[in-house]
Amino acid sequence: MSLIAISNWVLRKSFIRPTVLKSIRKMSSASSVVGNKVEVNGVNIYYEKAGHGKQTLLLLPGALGSCATDFRPQLEGGLNYEKFTVICWDPRGYGNSRPPDRDFPVDFFYRDADDAGKLMDVLGHKRYSALGWSDGGNVAMILAAKRSEAVEKLAVWGGNAYCTDKDIEMYELTKDISNWSERMRAPMIKVYGKEYFQNTWSAWVDGFKKINDERRGDVCMAELRQIKCPTLILHGELDPMVPPEHPVFLQSGIAGSRMLVMPGAKHNPHLRYAKEFNQHLETFLLKEEPQSKI
């Protein structure tokens, strides 16, 4: 596989989305999405809120992702505002949750999960469902395991509970963004600027290498057995970045979970096939479930 092909494969997995960051003011006025910042664990965390329904949903973006780049079809009327209160956040160091600059200690997924849980505490939401894409799926699984009293339901797609040497080798090949095509670089440079984007992406690669070296590739495997809430694992049939063994592994590890494969979809079904994807989410979220397995 050529360097360009490898770069495109990994970049699509990590953060390239077919949306462009808009101004917060423009998004809010156009779609009734309200943005604000609150202090969480010593960091000013940016979040957006839409809808006024009884069920609260927390959307968790992928690597270098944000409300603006990852979840516009869900925030801007794609989910039923009468039934759901939808909250999305920019993790520390991403999007509008800067400063601080983003860093990636070996436990960065666990830190993000702690930040996300504390954000919901600050906002006064004691019960909510966690919906996570890619890196955000890993964070959502940890959150559901660590806060079983708070997370009512869990939906994940594009996530992985472990990584391999092969994954790290491919990530390393993409570390220098000057080797990327302009089409691949431009969207994130527009959000972050070239220097911050380069530094943060390099640090992300190093962060995964630490997980592979120090945790033997264990992203969140132990947490799967601790998840007690109803769980939906979605998977794009043609996802070139997350092989089907990953969602199968998640399903085997999370008791009572079910997997839904979307025909023809790749890594970002919530963006590419937003209407169908949102319908799957709403069906799952609104379904009456048996008594908790706790």
In sequence order, what DSSP letters do the residues of 81-143 get, joined into one string? TTTEEEEEEE-TTSTT--SSPP---TTHHHHHHHHHHHHHHHTT-SSEEEEEETHHHHHHHHH
103, two tokens: 């860093």
- The residue from 235, 246, 267, 280 that is catalytic is 267
Instruction: Classify 231 as helix, strand or coil.
Output: strand
134 is catalytic: yes
Q: What SS3 class is residue 259?
A: strand
Question: Any catalytic annotation for residue 246?
Answer: no
Two structure tokens written together for 137:
């799926």
Catalytic residue (choose from 239, 246, 257, 270) = 239
Q: Is the peptide bond before 290 cis (omega within 30 degrees of 0)?
A: no
Catalytic residue among 7, 66, 97, 134: 134
Catalytic residues: 134, 239, 267
